[in-house]
Structure 1
């Protein structure tokens, strides 16, 4: 959704720690020609005093104030300062969404990720970047894997210490943290240490953290692939077991940016592993019981996807969801036999969306058979056996058999 802008194109100028001297001629001209320049206090101070332009610091909170702020200056030549590349986790992305790309002229500088990789000798195209600006540092967790390298955009000078603590608590204490401050400027500084022994004092708020991951082989692996170990989930035991979870996520087939409704969330495992498949995946978990809603939120935070929405009964709480778009997929893992649950799910699923439902009782299985007759789709049944000790021997302990219905609304599976 864009907002009308009738003035000249807004100049969005990236400026690095090297300040005015690092800007090209066109970027300097864009700043100098502006009737008003917006930016943070640090960014505005980088403009020389002899550049006589009006300057205005951003309000806080910023994003909600932007439409009104720019409405007060329609028709004027405006300039916005950004750190480094405005389109790399920067204000340029927000302005493009608000006004449309045609109303912007963007002058990028080298991003902090580019500069960090240049200092470290890392291949930029191979390095994932996670932002901890305005987000919990736990969002880094899904990216961690043995031998992997990644960059984290810091919120402030405390982020490196928080990352070290996060790594220690999740089996990556031997990983190396490199903090790169004020990259490209006269006060550039690089410090490095293991997460396990991190005792470095907080430094500059303008920093990016590089992590060279070393995993403890004794700690449970938690990759982006569905089917995480059951022991990683806390709660009352209401949990889709790892093998069934992997099969269920395969049937749901998450794609980047898609939205899932997880109905009868239990421990939140389906929603959590849906969101771990890609950083842009979203989910809302519906769970009637309050203590389980708390455990879903706790598990989501512990496994690096704290942005998952948690709601109550789907039949009454749909309107409370912050996601206004219809879901791309719905999983029903609990409450199948409650009046109106499947009907509510089906009516809200978008055309072309997928619905997957699992049943472990005869009554819920019969319901799925009727649904398959009415709407089509595919039915499958599977049972998992796990090895257990039987005296001095080993036997196979069967888990409850699961009947699964998979259907595409208005199409085929």
Structure 2
């Protein structure tokens, strides 16, 4: 058994001789509803068609039960974030032959005259925001975006504007290569008003060189009502995340996030991190998102509850945790963190009293954590703060 994947555009342009031979050699086919309307006149009368829908188990079963050749029709290039990659992963030992066509972003680039090789592609087709958020924070100047019916151009632009990324223009295309093809160059404000049709894609290009500010003064964050000093000072915040050495980490938890200052600063310096903030104060439900938007920091997940009461069973395990607050029960919170922190993960805490420092150090010594850094910092006339960073073994 072998699999043939034929990429096609959004209109009928026929098939070459070799592709027709592959089609005529079998009765087993699959594709989307739109694909079937384009190719059905080329199929044998006794053909068997499997509609590609989510989940893909029906497609997998049809392929496994096929005695000879199975032909799959796909949009554009099957290896460009497409079904070709999925089938290679699902059938690693099966011969797969691919006939690609131009992908949608290539066709859009040809229409608007942009060098698509200089536009890294980010797929939001059935995918989370993480890579897109990372690109925005890093100030990526050019990117190609693949959409779906959930992450639409309007939804994407709304997110950009919510976090103050208005400095991009859009090259938009829909039904690329088809009879209903439409191409436009838009500002983001214009894009919000456009009546989008699926399928679509677009390029983003920056209009200036602005990037989010890093190293944010504690005075610039919106504070807790009546508690303006209840925030990690900038110098302490920057030193802490530097000592945590987060370049090669992937998941960061901010426990006791308060205003979100540590989570926000960490995301701005290390946008590749998946960051979750925990805070029990109800006020922070609005405060942390406000500060995230103010400082252009999308992608921080927030849980408003006592950290120990949050069901974290299905959370991605962190390899870096900052303990910003513990509600009077340090050892209980640390023991809960220990359940999830990966081996060789880092744990940081800023101590403002000798008592809290001693409790943290004692807990580390009793739980197989090696204290790697103990740095004392005094900011202006404030009391000295001890930065403690430990590694789990």
Q: How high is the TM-score relative to the length of structure 2?
A: 0.75
Per the TM alignment, residue 403 of structure 1 is displaced from its structure 2 partner at its CA by 1.9
1:111 paired with 2:103, answer yes
2: CA distance, partners of 1:101 / 1:232: 53
In the alignment, is the contact (CA less than 8 A) between 1:357 and 1:406 conserved in 2? yes
1:379 paired with 2:379, answer no
Equivalent in the alignment of 1:4: none
CA-to-partner distance for each residue in 1:30-69, whole Å, 9 max, x for gaps? 555554433322222221413133223334xx1xx32355
In the alignment, is the contact (CA less than 8 A) between 1:261 and 1:331 conserved in 2? yes
Per the TM alignment, residue 213 of structure 1 is displaced from its structure 2 partner at its CA by 1.6
SS at 1:47 equivalent: helix
Select which of 214, 222, 227 maps to 2:212.
222
1: CA distance, partners of 2:361 / 2:241: 21
Per the TM alignment, residue 408 of structure 1 is displaced from its structure 2 partner at its CA by 2.8
Equivalent in the alignment of 1:207: 200
1: CA distance, partners of 2:273 / 2:5: 29
Q: Once superposed, what is the RMSD of the aligned Cα atoms? A: 4.2
1:406 paired with 2:389, answer yes
Per the TM alignment, residue 139 of structure 1 is displaced from its structure 2 partner at its CA by 7.1
CA-to-partner distance for each residue in 1:185-230, whole Å, 9 max, x for gaps? 454432113334557642432222222222597xxx526xx64566
2: CA distance, partners of 1:49 / 1:348: 56
Equivalent in the alignment of 1:70: 60
Equivalent in the alignment of 1:152: 145
**Greater CA drift, 33-42 or 278-287:** 278-287
**CA gap 1:274/1:87 in 2 versus in 1, 3 angstroms:** farther
1:102 paired with 2:93, answer yes
1:329 paired with 2:320, answer yes
Q: How high is the TM-score relative to the length of structure 1?
A: 0.72
Select which of 19, 22, 37 maps to 1:45.
37
In the alignment, is the contact (CA less than 8 A) between 1:380 and 1:405 conserved in 2? yes
Select which of 328, 337, 340 maps to 1:345.
337
1: CA distance, partners of 2:19 / 2:220: 50
**CA gap 1:248/1:91 in 2 versus in 1, 3 angstroms:** farther
Per the TM alignment, residue 123 of structure 1 is displaced from its structure 2 partner at its CA by 4.4
Equivalent in the alignment of 2:184: 191
SS at 1:89 equivalent: coil
In the alignment, is the contact (CA less than 8 A) between 1:265 and 1:287 conserved in 2? yes
Per the TM alignment, residue 301 of structure 1 is displaced from its structure 2 partner at its CA by 7.8
**CA gap 1:111/1:278 in 2 versus in 1, 3 angstroms:** farther
**CA gap 1:133/1:347 in 2 versus in 1, 3 angstroms:** closer
Equivalent in the alignment of 1:58: 52
In the alignment, is the contact (CA less than 8 A) between 2:133 and 2:299 conserved in 1? no
Per the TM alignment, residue 378 of structure 1 is displaced from its structure 2 partner at its CA by 2.0
Per the TM alignment, residue 95 of structure 1 is displaced from its structure 2 partner at its CA by 4.3
SS at 1:369 equivalent: helix
Per the TM alignment, residue 179 of structure 1 is displaced from its structure 2 partner at its CA by 0.8
**CA gap 1:36/1:247 in 2 versus in 1, 3 angstroms:** farther
1:266 paired with 2:258, answer yes
**CA gap 1:68/1:403 in 2 versus in 1, 3 angstroms:** farther
Per the TM alignment, residue 11 of structure 1 is displaced from its structure 2 partner at its CA by 4.0
Equivalent in the alignment of 1:182: 175
2: CA distance, partners of 1:312 / 1:104: 52
**Greater CA drift, 10-19 or 338-347:** 10-19
**CA gap 1:293/1:161 in 2 versus in 1, 3 angstroms:** closer
